[in-house]
Amino acid sequence: MPPDLLSYEQAASLIAENARAISESRRPSIERIDLAAAPGRILATPLLADDDQPPFPRSTRDGYACRADELSAHVPLPIAGSTRAGQPPASPLPPSSAWEIMTGAPVPSGADCVVMLEHVEESGNTIQLSASRTIAQGDNIVSRGAQSRRGDQILSAGFALGPAQIALAASCGYSTVEVFRRPRVAILTTGDELVPVDATPGPGQIRNSNAPMLAALVARCGADPLILPTAADSPEALDAALAQAATADLLLISGGVSAGTHDLVEPALARRGAQFHFTGVKIQPGKPLVFGQIPQSAESQKQDKKHQGKTSVVPTSAHTDERASASRSNSIPFFGLPGNPISSAATFLLFAAPILAALSGSRETHPRFVLAQLARDTDRKAKPGLTRFLPALCTFNRSANALPQVATIPWHGSGDLTAFAQSNCFLVIPEDAAHLDAGSTVRILLH
């Protein structure tokens, strides 16, 4: 077991390497779902254009379809016809004439430009280009097939399906789409002090808040959480729990990874043949984070096969399922998350979420750090070598030209759920930085 304590950057690049290896070697199985159920799912089979897009030369303006050289002479052109969106033009554009046209309507053949309504003088049944205006061939027309040609790949596998991708799929007639099966994430909370949410804690006990929090984080990543019974702090309880837990695609263990005498998770993982990638990161909160992989148990391999059998695999990818099981390595990545709730959440977002994204088949696996402006000076005692992630509140403003403002939330350490619930992001304090000035540009991770 390597006693490695990595810097944040070292741990982040090791995670990125592992995420890349997972993306390259494991292909989740595929299921077909209704487009209405697709938000947040990961596209498994590329989308193809069913027709040229646009399927006809489309006017992007209300105005007149013309020939640019005729209109440029600034002489009156008679209006020969009119086309609205949804209508095919009644005829080609006759010589030396104009054709009234609406946004989205097909441009009649023979026309090579559309002039905006506002750029012409109308008189009787004629229009004339305004003296101050010019026009060129192609103006205000999107030619047939400019966006894509019939059969073109318009979206590759690995894209998360959001509103834009769903609109594109709909425009090409996809009422169903093929997506990757959601990874199953086993959540194992450990600790003698934990009682269920609906129990009244006895002296010294606390409610298990990490299980629902981690389940929410997992669900928000588009994966399926599976909450296991809480394990007591004993080698026997942990051994039994880990045997059960090895049925998932990813295993999250909360608690029991610090240096205390009741922190028995690492030895239990070692007894199950775990390979450890790191056993600590120089971050605050979350320093005792453990990352590695354990062999899948025989019974879980059986279960996994059964589960894959249940997955609806579409006919076009008869060999996809085969490939999925062939490339499925028989090990499960795991994270031993420090039990304090804010530590668990921060380490999940920083390190587990990228691995989960890779297991989901997503092409986007890096944490989405964004820039913000620090609202107040932030003083911290410098802690050598520690990168810190402090609960903070990011406030968006109406201006498109200003960065969001961010301020830390006063907290009583990484167990302070009251403070955490007031926050919506983590403020990144770079290694060795003791003071950040108000107004400076800082990095945040929204949660």
Distances (CA, A) of 398 to 201, 313, 427: 45, 46, 21
Would you say 289 or 428 has its CB closer to ligand AMP? 289
By a kind-dependent CB cut-off of 5 to 8 A, residue 193 interacts, out of ligand AMP, Mg ion, none, with: ligand AMP
By a kind-dependent CB cut-off of 5 to 8 A, residue 434 interacts, out of ligand AMP, Mg ion, none, with: none
Select from 6-14, 67-75, 159-167, 205-213 the region that touches ligand AMP (CB under 6 A). Answer: 205-213
By a kind-dependent CB cut-off of 5 to 8 A, residue 338 interacts, out of Mg ion, ligand AMP, none, with: ligand AMP
Site string for Mg ion, 308-347 (x = CB under 5 A): -------------------------------x--------
206 makes contact with ligand AMP (CB under 6 A)? yes
Nearest distance from residue 336's CB to ligand AMP, in Å?
9
How many residues belong to the site for ligand AMP (CB under 6 A)? 21
Separation CA 245–CA 251 (nearest Å): 7
Q: Is 158 left (phi over 0), alpha (psi -120 to 50) or beta?
A: left
Q: Residue with CB nearest ligand AMP? A: 339
340 makes contact with ligand AMP (CB under 6 A)? yes
Nearest distance from residue 254's CB to Mg ion, in Å?
8
415 makes contact with ligand AMP (CB under 6 A)? yes
183 makes contact with ligand AMP (CB under 6 A)? no
Separation CA 422–CA 440 (nearest Å): 22
Pick one of 89, 108, 286, 341: the residue that binds ligand AMP (CB under 6 A): 341
Would you say 39 or 229 has its CB closer to ligand AMP? 229
Site string for Mg ion, 174-203 (x = CB under 5 A): -----------------x------------
Under 8 Å CB-to-CB from 151, ≥6 apart: which residues?
48, 49
345 makes contact with ligand AMP (CB under 6 A)? no
> Which positions from 140 through 159 interact with ligand AMP, judged by CB under 6 A?
none
191 makes contact with ligand AMP (CB under 6 A)? yes
Q: Is 273 left (phi over 0), alpha (psi -120 to 50) or beta?
A: left
Select from 6-14, 136-144, 179-187, 207-215 the region that touches ligand AMP (CB under 6 A). Answer: 207-215
Strands 206-207 and 194-195: parallel
Would you say 292 or 338 has its CB closer to ligand AMP? 338
Select from 88-96, 138-146, 255-263, 391-399 the region that touches ligand AMP (CB under 6 A). Answer: 255-263
Pick one of 57, 63, 255, 285: the residue that binds Mg ion (CB under 5 A): 255
Prior bond of 285 cis (ω within 30°): yes
Nearest distance from residue 260's CB to Mg ion, in Å?
7
339 makes contact with ligand AMP (CB under 6 A)? yes
258 makes contact with ligand AMP (CB under 6 A)? yes
Binding site for ligand AMP (CB under 6 A): 189, 191, 193-194, 206, 208-211, 254-258, 260, 263, 338-341, 415
